[in-house]
Amino acid sequence: MTDSLKDATTDSLTGVAARLGARIRAATAAGSPLRLRGGGTKDWYGQGLDGDVLDTRPYSGIVSYEPTELVITARCGTPLAEIEALLARHNQMLAFEPPRFGAESTIGGVVASALSGPRRASAGAVRDFVLGAVLMDGRGEGLRFGGQVMKNVAGYDVSRLLAGSLGTLGLILEVSLKVLPVPVSETSLRFEMGEIDALTRLNEWAGQPLPISASCWHQGALSLRLSGAQAAVVAARQRLGGETLDNGAAFWTSLRDQSHAHFGGGALWRLSVPPAASAIILRGAQLIEWGGAQRWLKVDQCDAAQAANIRSAVAAAGGHATLFRGGDKQLGVFHPLAPAVAKIHDRLKQSFDPAGIFNPGRMY
């Protein structure tokens, strides 16, 4: 790219940012809600959608990428596919394996939703990889938090707060993320066993030096993915036994992108519990990931009484339940907040979005 073309591109993006700021200031002045939206691949997630669409896709592009530093910075409208393709050319990846949900998925939506894939239990969640961010608040001002290096901790917690905020705190203009090398070797195993035995094994293995990067129990079968140095993977394979899982890569992709049959039809609940929690006996079919910490419960129908029963059972196990997809959202998508936590949410919202224009009602 020539210098003149770079300058033209920079000027164009500066204009896009200015227009976004002007739109936000006008909405704040009028008290008109805005619906922050990238590719729209996660419009179904959360409570209702309200407000005029503020399309983030025009503010797109890689700001910087330092493969040797394991850091990438991109604008909110940058397609996830574009980022993953660039990382793949350098044999690197977003280790939290964000679900794609379609070609239109953007990096801003990845951070705002904070959804992670099968590798989350071993590698960490989205928030663990956020190094810094630029947020445009309800005043149309750009606020910079964190940095672009892993050792920079200034404002780090604020950057991490944006992960999972569903656009309710402001528009994420840019985000800097830590990336990791692609594992040298991977293999997948399958074991025939029941739910209780699977949970017992997973918790036993979690305390051992095994290169387990993903796990899934479903319909009487436990699947494991081993990742790392070839010698470590081979040694673990011999130690654990089991059968080789055919088409292992495709299987884990179906979990990551939720194209697996378990995710279709009915009301899908996401149960987040301590990995050591025993089997939670509820009506419906379950798929268990993350060493037992994430359990997907699928029910044909769900009324208020059943929703209350699900949340009560999960709370008793030390976790919380989210009505992830399908079902009646009037039951409440996210687990009710404790009063003290709700006050913190309110104060954060007031600080960044005093007029309450960003994605109102998307979370609670």
Domains of the chain: which residue ranges? 3-181, 185-331
Contact indicator for 37, 53 with CB cutoff of 8 Å: yes
Q: What's the pLDDT score for residue 332?
A: 94
Amino acid letter for position 82: E
pLDDT value of position 10: 62
pLDDT of res. 235: 98
Non-local (6+) Cβ contacts of 340 within 8 A are none
The closest alpha carbon to 114, from 127, 103, 123, 124, belongs to 127
Question: What pTM was estimated for this model as a whole?
Answer: 0.91
Q: Which two tokens stand for residue 174?
A: 């840019």
CATH top-level class of 3-181: alpha beta
In 182-244, which ranges are continuous DSSP H helix?
195-206, 230-240
Instruction: Note the pLDDT of residue 281.
Output: 86
pLDDT less than 50: residues of the chain: 2-8, 149-156
First-to-last C-alpha distance (Å) of the chain = 46
pLDDT of residue 5: 36
Token pair 């002007």 in the structure block, residue: 22
Number of alpha carbons in the 13 Å side-chain half-sphere of residue 49: 11
